[in-house]
Structure 1
Amino acid sequence: MAFVTLNGVTLHYRYSGGNGVPVIFLNSLGTDFRIWEDVIADLPTGAPVLCMDKRGHGLSDDAPITMDALVQDAAALMDHLGLKSALICGVSVGGMIAQGLAASRPDLMAGLVLCCTGTQIGDAEGWNARIETVRSDGIASMADAILERWFSETFRTTRLADLAGYRNMLTRTSADGYAGVCAAIRDSDLTARTARLTVPTKCVAGADDLATPPSLVKTLAGLIEGTDFEVLENCGHLPPIEQPAATARAVCRIHEMLK
């Protein structure tokens, strides 16, 4: 395990050095960086790979959370490791962080893979209700509803042990961390910044995603000129878990373009 204190927050990360274009993975609300393991296993050998637990998640510290703080943490960790001109792959809020990073630190960015995300996700009413429930009743009280949004019906009915494991990942997330990231998503509209991006980009949607449906991801893809858009069948909100091979192919396609 590797830890570093940056911006006053101790972050947990995993980094494997190598040569060529680095690949950075940014995970979703209520998960830690282990969701990328099967994707990373299918990447070309030798590329530097970084994944991290954002503040309030995994083994990273609880701390005040805004979208800018999440972006700055990712930038600070890349600076700490001497990484730049990278391919950033983010899912859900990780995709929002990736967009913010591309806009604020273009030196760190060479390409994007944006999975099940948008420039704005949900509405204030929905996020406020979720924050209130987390604060009053805990994440476990919402777990069934969240898992229905995370995973397709096929996954939920055939991969019961996996479903139980990801429930554990979700419910063991810090309540402060979960609520803080909910507020960061609620308060963020990245449309104007993302529309100015010009890096090679691939947008991936899950056909069964109830959180960020394909129409939302397609709108995002339309903002960045030349973006490739793909919908994955039998996939909910988390392609790295349900469709890791297809996610890896998307990453490899952009990575190959950047060589």
Structure 2
Amino acid sequence: MQVNINGIETRYVLSNEGGGPWLTFVHQLGGDLSVWDQLAGYFRDDYTVLRYDVRGHGETAVSNAPFAIADLAGDLAALLDALGAPNTHLVGMSMGGMIAQQFALDHPSRVNRLVIADSTAASPPEARATWDQRAASVRRDGTASLAPATLERWLTEAFRTAHPEAVEPIREALTRTLPEGYAMACEALRDFDVRGKLGNIRCPALVVAGRHDTGTPPAASQLIADAIEGAHFELLDAAHLAPVEQSQRFAALLETFLERPV
């Protein structure tokens, strides 16, 4: 399905067989909504499951102007408005985790429970040049040029070897991402910093990290959990895309978390 959100044609998939509470998944940089296929199938009988392509990714149009993570959180708010969802459980991975943090800060009454996977509350100063270099590289050489190194960071070698059927759709989503969409998102990530605000998040929170994540070390996720009162932290035997690599374990954690009494 497509809907115009803040002037941008946005693709989303809504699975509401169960007609239960809303559960929204937000994908990583260079990904699309398909990364959540397995988890969406698991939860759709009990929840109204929403997935969408962030602007400049998948089949969502590229922005005409630079944007910040706050703008991406605004896109999510507008999408929920368009679909008639007053609030939602929110799950974000990597870039999606940054969007989820920002959304929880900007729209606190709309988040029932918050799950942040393999993410950080800020890009450190020393990483700014790296984001600029990556944006320049993808504008010059395209997203396919990033695939080998990116997949090595995202998934452990053991998983890539054992599960090529899971790796290939992730590779395809990355290589299909339009260079300008990816580059503009890099620049938004470069400027992201909510470290001083996380204490304002009051909803129940679960933070998950991959033990072998070299791009976003577990310590960065632990800092998020430490800053949100009452947040629960889990470390999984995975690299950067822990919800993919440890999908059964992540699904079990998420199911327990969503059903846990407040």
Using structure 1 for the length normalisation, give the TM-score: 0.94
Q: Aligned partners of 1:44, 1:59: CA distance in 2, in Å?
A: 22
Shift of 1:258: 6.3
Amino acid at match of 1:218: Q
Q: Aligned partners of 2:38, 2:160: CA distance in 1, in Å?
A: 19
Matching residue of 1:109: 111
Worse overlay, 36-45 or 223-232: 36-45
Q: Aligned partners of 2:176, 2:234: CA distance in 1, in Å?
A: 32
Counterparts of residues 86-235 of structure 1 (less than 5 Å):
86-121=88-123, 123-233=127-237, 235=238
1:208-258 CA-partner distances (Å, limit 9, x unpaired): 11111111111111000111101111x111123211112212221222136
1:242 and 2:245 aligned: yes
Amino acid at match of 1:181: A
Counterparts of residues 74-89 of structure 1 (less than 5 Å):
74-89=76-91
> Which structure 1 segments of 5+ residues have no match?
none
Matching residue of 1:48: 48
Shift of 1:92: 0.4
Shift of 1:156: 2.2
Q: What is the SS of the residue equivalent to 2:43?
A: coil
Determine if contact 1:21/1:255 at 8 Å carries over to the other structure: no
> Which structure 2 segments of 5+ residues have no match?
none
Matching residue of 2:256: 253
Determine if contact 1:110/1:258 at 8 Å carries over to the other structure: no
Q: Aligned partners of 1:85, 1:51: CA distance in 2, in Å?
A: 15
Q: What is the aligned residue count?
A: 257
Using structure 2 for the length normalisation, give the TM-score: 0.93
Sequence identity (%): 36
Determine if contact 1:118/1:216 at 8 Å carries over to the other structure: yes
Matching residue of 1:3: 2
Amino acid at match of 1:79: D
